[in-house]
Structure 1
Amino acid sequence: MISRLDGMPDGVIGFEASGTISAEDYRDAVLPALTEAASGGEVRFLLVVGDFDGMTGGAVWEDLKVGVEHLRSWKRIALVTDIEWMTHLTAMFGWMTPGETRTFPSARRAEATAWVAG
């Protein structure tokens, strides 16, 4: 499940993901916010992941499309998680992600929000 976070700084869209992520999560929550942000020129994206049980096949496809459809709009992506393998994968493959990417532990969520907004 993905839910939109309220109270983000201007220009930042934020989401919290938990459990199993589905294609509907992307279509209903992420895509409308992303399209709106991209129309403003650049996307600054905060993702907070607590517990994670995986993604459906449709969600993986939607995730790939999200990155490509707005390729030139991505400015910064902050991943906030204590899930070690996510941190390692982001460090290894973050260079393939459009825009600048950083990971932060949950205890540094406020710092992640400030960085992605900067």
Structure 2
Amino acid sequence: MITLLNDAPENVAAFNASGEIDQQDFKNIIIPHVNNKLARFDELNYLLYLNTDVEQTDIAWLTTLVSDLEKTKQCNRAAIVIDDAGLQKINSFKTKENFKIFSKDNVYSAMYWCNNGNEPEYSEK
């Protein structure tokens, strides 16, 4: 299931993914919210908090999502927040300057980066 992260900055489309994730989540939640952000800000700053056991989950949908984001001309920044085991699994994604993967320990740095384009000068630990 995918839900909105409502405490995200205004210019960030932020989502929490947990449990079973399917195409209806994209159709009913992600696409309308992303379109709303694009209409208001003319660029997409995107954050996905993966709150699921990635080692036990087929993440083919995530590969498609990242590929689609990389192709979107309006995609300014995109971040995925994931646990350490998941980091190992998705590290094979092509990373570009506007796409970053953050550990769950650095969720606030991820949100800050999506909002501002840089990371805070303080450490979260």
Question: For the superposition of Structure 1 and Structure 2, which TM-score range results when normalised by the shorter chain?
Answer: 0.7 to 0.9
How many angstroms does 1:87 deviate by? 4.1
Aligned letter for 2:7? Answer: G
Q: Could you list the runs of 5+ residues in structure 1 that have no partner in the other structure? A: none
Give 1:89's aligned residue.
Answer: 92
Q: 1:85 to 1:65 in 2, by over 3 A?
A: closer
Establish whether residue 67 from structure 1 lines up as the match of residue 69 from structure 2. yes
Deviant stretches of 4+, over 3 Å: 62-68
1:9-28 to 2 correspondences below 5 Å: 9-28=9-28
Q: How far apart, CA to CA, are the structure 2 residues paired with 1:105 and 1:64?
A: 17
| RMSD over equivalenced CA pairs, Å | 2.6
Give the structure, 1 or 2, with the largest relative contact order (CA under 8 Å, sep 6 or more): 1
Higher helix fraction (1 or 2):
1
Q: Find out whether 1:31 has 2:31 as its counterpart.
A: yes
Report how far residue 86 of structure 1 moved: 4.2
In structure 2, the partner of 1:46 is 47
Q: Give the 3-state SS of the residue equivalent to 1:21 in structure 2.
A: coil
Quote the Cα distance in structure 1 between the aligned partners of 2:73 and 2:33. Answer: 16
Percentage identity across aligned positions?
A: 20
Runs of 5+ in structure 2 lacking a partner?
Answer: 117-125
Q: CA deviation at 1:18?
A: 1.7
Q: TM-score, normalised by structure 2?
A: 0.74
Give the count of matched residue pairs.
110
Corresponding residue SS for 1:3: strand
CA distance in 2, matches of 1:7, 1:48: 13
